[in-house]
Amino acid sequence: MTPPLVTFNQPHPFPGKLIIVEGIDGSGKSTQLLLLQKWLTAKGYNVFFTEWNSSELVRETTRRGKKNKSLTPTTFSLLHATDFANRLYYDILPPLKAGMVVLADRYAYTAFARDAVRGVSPAWVRKLYGFAMRPNMAFYFKVPIEVAINRLLGGMRAQFKYYEAGMDMGLSQDMTESFRIFQARILLEYDKIVSEYGLITMDATKEIEEQQNDMRQLVSTALEHYKPKRGTHGKRETVFWRRFAVPKSE
Protein backbone atom coordinates (compact mmCIF):
# COMPACT_ATOMS: atom_id res chain seq x y z
CA MET A 1 0.00 0.00 0.00
CA THR A 2 2.84 2.35 -0.73
CA PRO A 3 2.65 5.07 -3.33
CA PRO A 4 4.62 4.34 -6.50
CA LEU A 5 8.36 4.32 -6.02
CA VAL A 6 9.21 5.67 -9.40
CA THR A 7 7.56 8.20 -11.64
CA PHE A 8 8.43 9.45 -15.05
CA ASN A 9 9.08 12.92 -13.73
CA GLN A 10 12.18 12.28 -11.71
CA PRO A 11 15.39 10.25 -11.93
CA HIS A 12 15.08 6.72 -10.59
CA PRO A 13 16.74 5.94 -7.26
CA PHE A 14 18.38 2.65 -8.29
CA PRO A 15 22.11 1.96 -8.59
CA GLY A 16 21.89 0.64 -12.16
CA LYS A 17 21.79 2.66 -15.38
CA LEU A 18 19.02 2.65 -17.96
CA ILE A 19 19.99 3.58 -21.52
CA ILE A 20 17.36 3.59 -24.25
CA VAL A 21 17.22 4.25 -27.98
CA GLU A 22 14.37 5.69 -30.00
CA GLY A 23 13.74 6.35 -33.67
CA ILE A 24 11.51 5.29 -36.55
CA ASP A 25 11.89 1.94 -38.27
CA GLY A 26 14.95 2.04 -40.48
CA SER A 27 16.75 4.63 -38.37
CA GLY A 28 19.41 2.10 -37.39
CA LYS A 29 18.83 2.44 -33.66
CA SER A 30 18.80 -1.31 -33.01
CA THR A 31 22.14 -1.75 -34.77
CA GLN A 32 23.61 1.04 -32.68
CA LEU A 33 22.29 -0.42 -29.46
CA LEU A 34 23.67 -3.85 -30.33
CA LEU A 35 27.11 -2.34 -30.94
CA LEU A 36 26.90 -0.45 -27.68
CA GLN A 37 26.05 -3.67 -25.89
CA LYS A 38 29.10 -5.43 -27.40
CA TRP A 39 31.33 -2.62 -26.23
CA LEU A 40 29.92 -2.42 -22.70
CA THR A 41 30.10 -6.17 -22.27
CA ALA A 42 33.69 -6.20 -23.49
CA LYS A 43 34.49 -3.51 -20.95
CA GLY A 44 33.24 -5.82 -18.21
CA TYR A 45 29.87 -4.30 -17.45
CA ASN A 46 26.91 -6.49 -16.59
CA VAL A 47 24.49 -5.60 -19.35
CA PHE A 48 20.84 -6.53 -19.70
CA PHE A 49 18.95 -6.02 -22.96
CA THR A 50 15.20 -5.64 -23.45
CA GLU A 51 13.10 -4.66 -26.44
CA TRP A 52 9.68 -3.24 -27.21
CA ASN A 53 6.72 -5.57 -27.44
CA SER A 54 8.49 -8.74 -26.42
CA SER A 55 6.86 -9.99 -23.23
CA GLU A 56 5.43 -13.51 -23.18
CA LEU A 57 2.20 -12.34 -21.65
CA VAL A 58 1.10 -9.97 -24.36
CA ARG A 59 2.88 -11.11 -27.49
CA GLU A 60 0.31 -13.73 -28.40
CA THR A 61 -2.60 -11.33 -27.87
CA THR A 62 -1.00 -8.58 -29.92
CA ARG A 63 -0.31 -11.08 -32.68
CA ARG A 64 -3.91 -12.27 -32.68
CA GLY A 65 -5.29 -8.73 -32.58
CA LYS A 66 -3.04 -7.69 -35.43
CA LYS A 67 -3.94 -10.74 -37.46
CA ASN A 68 -7.68 -10.20 -37.38
CA LYS A 69 -7.14 -6.44 -37.51
CA SER A 70 -9.44 -5.82 -34.57
CA LEU A 71 -7.10 -3.49 -32.71
CA THR A 72 -8.29 0.06 -32.16
CA PRO A 73 -5.88 2.92 -31.45
CA THR A 74 -6.73 2.57 -27.76
CA THR A 75 -6.40 -1.21 -27.45
CA PHE A 76 -3.20 -1.02 -29.51
CA SER A 77 -1.85 1.53 -27.06
CA LEU A 78 -3.00 -0.38 -23.98
CA LEU A 79 -1.54 -3.68 -25.17
CA HIS A 80 1.84 -2.08 -25.64
CA ALA A 81 1.59 -0.46 -22.23
CA THR A 82 0.77 -3.84 -20.71
CA ASP A 83 3.77 -5.38 -22.41
CA PHE A 84 5.87 -2.52 -21.14
CA ALA A 85 4.59 -2.83 -17.56
CA ASN A 86 5.30 -6.53 -17.59
CA ARG A 87 8.85 -6.03 -18.88
CA LEU A 88 9.43 -3.16 -16.50
CA TYR A 89 8.57 -5.39 -13.57
CA TYR A 90 10.43 -8.49 -14.71
CA ASP A 91 13.20 -7.28 -17.01
CA ILE A 92 14.07 -3.70 -16.20
CA LEU A 93 13.52 -3.17 -12.48
CA PRO A 94 15.49 -6.16 -11.10
CA PRO A 95 18.72 -5.50 -13.05
CA LEU A 96 18.49 -1.78 -12.25
CA LYS A 97 18.12 -2.55 -8.58
CA ALA A 98 21.03 -4.96 -8.84
CA GLY A 99 23.15 -2.21 -10.30
CA MET A 100 23.37 -3.46 -13.89
CA VAL A 101 23.29 -1.50 -17.12
CA VAL A 102 19.93 -1.99 -18.86
CA LEU A 103 19.67 -1.31 -22.58
CA ALA A 104 16.19 -0.86 -23.99
CA ASP A 105 15.37 -0.86 -27.70
CA ARG A 106 12.46 1.63 -27.69
CA TYR A 107 10.86 3.00 -24.56
CA ALA A 108 7.71 4.86 -23.55
CA TYR A 109 8.53 7.61 -26.08
CA THR A 110 7.69 5.18 -28.87
CA ALA A 111 4.17 5.02 -27.48
CA PHE A 112 3.99 8.78 -27.04
CA ALA A 113 4.84 9.23 -30.71
CA ARG A 114 2.97 6.34 -32.36
CA ASP A 115 -0.18 6.35 -30.29
CA ALA A 116 -0.65 10.07 -30.67
CA VAL A 117 -0.38 9.66 -34.45
CA ARG A 118 -2.94 6.83 -34.29
CA GLY A 119 -5.33 9.23 -32.60
CA VAL A 120 -5.31 8.71 -28.84
CA SER A 121 -5.00 11.71 -26.57
CA PRO A 122 -1.31 12.69 -26.15
CA ALA A 123 -1.99 13.69 -22.54
CA TRP A 124 -3.61 10.34 -21.82
CA VAL A 125 -0.77 8.22 -23.18
CA ARG A 126 1.72 10.17 -21.07
CA LYS A 127 -0.30 9.53 -17.92
CA LEU A 128 -0.65 5.90 -18.94
CA TYR A 129 3.12 5.45 -18.66
CA GLY A 130 3.29 7.37 -15.40
CA PHE A 131 4.66 4.27 -13.66
CA ALA A 132 7.73 4.10 -15.88
CA MET A 133 11.09 5.36 -14.71
CA ARG A 134 12.97 8.09 -16.49
CA PRO A 135 15.98 6.61 -18.33
CA ASN A 136 19.47 7.81 -17.46
CA MET A 137 20.20 8.33 -21.16
CA ALA A 138 17.81 8.45 -24.09
CA PHE A 139 19.12 8.55 -27.65
CA TYR A 140 16.95 9.58 -30.57
CA PHE A 141 18.22 8.46 -33.97
CA LYS A 142 16.95 11.07 -36.35
CA VAL A 143 16.68 10.11 -39.99
CA PRO A 144 14.86 11.54 -43.03
CA ILE A 145 11.97 9.38 -44.15
CA GLU A 146 13.48 8.51 -47.55
CA VAL A 147 16.68 7.22 -46.00
CA ALA A 148 14.64 4.98 -43.71
CA ILE A 149 12.58 3.65 -46.60
CA ASN A 150 15.67 2.88 -48.69
CA ARG A 151 17.28 1.08 -45.78
CA LEU A 152 14.19 -1.01 -45.12
CA LEU A 153 13.51 -1.87 -48.74
CA GLY A 154 17.14 -2.43 -49.64
CA GLY A 155 17.97 -4.26 -46.46
CA MET A 156 17.31 -7.57 -44.87
CA ARG A 157 13.60 -7.09 -44.38
CA ALA A 158 12.66 -5.86 -47.87
CA GLN A 159 9.02 -5.53 -46.87
CA PHE A 160 6.94 -3.36 -44.57
CA LYS A 161 4.75 -4.77 -41.89
CA TYR A 162 1.06 -3.89 -41.78
CA TYR A 163 0.98 -1.91 -38.53
CA GLU A 164 4.48 -0.47 -38.95
CA ALA A 165 3.30 1.06 -42.18
CA GLY A 166 0.21 2.39 -40.44
CA MET A 167 -2.01 0.44 -42.85
CA ASP A 168 -4.70 0.30 -40.16
CA MET A 169 -5.13 4.04 -40.55
CA GLY A 170 -6.30 3.92 -44.15
CA LEU A 171 -3.73 6.50 -45.25
CA SER A 172 -3.01 4.83 -48.55
CA GLN A 173 -3.59 1.50 -50.27
CA ASP A 174 0.07 1.43 -51.21
CA MET A 175 2.23 0.15 -48.38
CA THR A 176 5.28 2.26 -49.13
CA GLU A 177 3.16 5.37 -49.46
CA SER A 178 1.30 4.56 -46.25
CA PHE A 179 4.61 4.00 -44.47
CA ARG A 180 5.86 7.34 -45.76
CA ILE A 181 2.83 9.28 -44.51
CA PHE A 182 2.58 7.44 -41.20
CA GLN A 183 6.27 7.61 -40.31
CA ALA A 184 6.47 11.26 -41.37
CA ARG A 185 3.80 12.04 -38.79
CA ILE A 186 5.72 10.03 -36.21
CA LEU A 187 8.84 12.05 -36.98
CA LEU A 188 6.91 15.22 -36.17
CA GLU A 189 5.80 13.74 -32.86
CA TYR A 190 9.37 12.69 -32.05
CA ASP A 191 10.50 16.26 -32.62
CA LYS A 192 8.08 17.42 -29.93
CA ILE A 193 9.15 14.63 -27.59
CA VAL A 194 12.84 15.40 -28.03
CA SER A 195 12.38 18.90 -26.70
CA GLU A 196 9.81 17.88 -24.09
CA TYR A 197 12.01 15.19 -22.52
CA GLY A 198 15.48 16.25 -23.60
CA LEU A 199 16.42 13.21 -25.67
CA ILE A 200 19.91 13.18 -27.18
CA THR A 201 19.53 13.57 -30.92
CA MET A 202 21.89 11.51 -33.07
CA ASP A 203 22.41 12.10 -36.78
CA ALA A 204 21.35 8.72 -38.11
CA THR A 205 22.48 9.49 -41.65
CA LYS A 206 26.13 9.23 -40.62
CA GLU A 207 28.18 6.08 -41.10
CA ILE A 208 27.46 3.32 -38.60
CA GLU A 209 30.87 3.39 -36.95
CA GLU A 210 30.86 7.17 -36.77
CA GLN A 211 27.53 7.17 -34.92
CA GLN A 212 28.76 4.41 -32.65
CA ASN A 213 31.86 6.40 -31.75
CA ASP A 214 29.73 9.40 -30.82
CA MET A 215 27.44 7.21 -28.80
CA ARG A 216 30.27 5.49 -26.93
CA GLN A 217 31.82 8.82 -26.06
CA LEU A 218 28.58 10.10 -24.58
CA VAL A 219 27.98 6.88 -22.67
CA SER A 220 31.56 6.88 -21.31
CA THR A 221 31.06 10.33 -19.90
CA ALA A 222 27.72 9.39 -18.39
CA LEU A 223 29.13 6.26 -16.79
CA GLU A 224 32.21 8.01 -15.42
CA HIS A 225 31.10 7.80 -11.81
CA TYR A 226 29.15 4.62 -12.15
CA LYS A 227 30.55 1.69 -10.19
CA PRO A 228 29.41 -1.51 -11.77
CA LYS A 229 28.44 -4.16 -9.28
CA ARG A 230 30.18 -7.42 -9.72
CA GLY A 231 28.20 -10.60 -9.74
CA THR A 232 28.83 -12.96 -6.84
CA HIS A 233 31.19 -15.12 -8.81
CA GLY A 234 32.60 -12.42 -11.01
CA LYS A 235 33.63 -12.75 -14.60
CA ARG A 236 36.78 -14.76 -13.89
CA GLU A 237 35.99 -18.24 -12.71
CA THR A 238 39.39 -18.42 -11.00
CA VAL A 239 38.22 -15.97 -8.36
CA PHE A 240 35.32 -18.21 -7.57
CA TRP A 241 37.41 -21.35 -7.32
CA ARG A 242 40.24 -19.83 -5.35
CA ARG A 243 37.87 -19.04 -2.54
CA PHE A 244 37.06 -22.71 -2.12
CA ALA A 245 40.55 -23.98 -2.60
CA VAL A 246 41.63 -26.51 0.01
CA PRO A 247 44.41 -25.05 2.14
CA LYS A 248 47.74 -26.66 1.46
CA SER A 249 48.65 -29.17 4.06
CA GLU A 250 51.66 -28.37 6.12
Partner 1 sequence: MENARQYFGDGLPYQNLNELKGKLIAIEGTDGVGRSTHIEMLQEWLEVQGYGVVTTGWTRSNLMSKTIEMAKQGNILDRWSFSLLYATDFADRLEHQIIPALRSGFIVLADRYIYTAFARDFVRSGDRSWIRDLFGFAVIPDLVCYLRIDVDTLALRVIETKGMNFWESGMDLRLGGDLYDSFKKYQGLLIEEFDKMAEEFTFEVVDARKPPEEIQEALRLKIEPLLKNGRAQLAPAGTGSPVKESATAPPAS
219 sits near partner 1 (criterion: CB under 8 A) = no
Least distance to partner 1 from the beta carbon of 139, Å? 25
Longest CA–CA span in the chain (Å) reads 84
Residues 173-212, one symbol each (x = binds partner 1 by CB under 8 A, - = not), give ----------------------------------------
Contact, 138 vs 22, CB < 8 A?
yes
Residues 131-150 that bind partner 1 (CB under 8 A): 131
Nearer to partner 1, 89 or 240 (CB): 89
Site string for partner 1, 55-74 (x = CB under 8 A): -xxx-xx--xx----xxxxx
CB of 133 to partner 1, least distance (A): 12
The binder of partner 1 chosen from 35, 85, 194, 218 (CB under 8 A): 85
CB crowding 119-131: b at 16 or more within 10 Å, else e: ebeeeebbebbeb
Residue number, 56 or 203, with CB nearest to partner 1? 56
Contact 24, 166 (CB under 8 A): no
How far apart (Å, rounded) are the C-alpha atoms in residues 82 and 87? 9
Q: For 147, phi and psi rounded to 5 degrees?
A: -65, -45
Question: Letter for the amino acid at 180?
Answer: R
* Count, residues near partner 1 per rule CB under 8 A: 34
User: Is the distance from CB of 89 to CB of 41 less than 8 angstroms?
Assistant: no
How many Cα atoms within 13 Å fall on the side-chain side of residue 202? 30
Q: Which residues bind partner 1 (CB under 8 A)?
A: 1-4, 56-58, 60-61, 64-65, 70-75, 78-79, 81-82, 85-86, 88-89, 119-121, 123-124, 127-128, 130-131
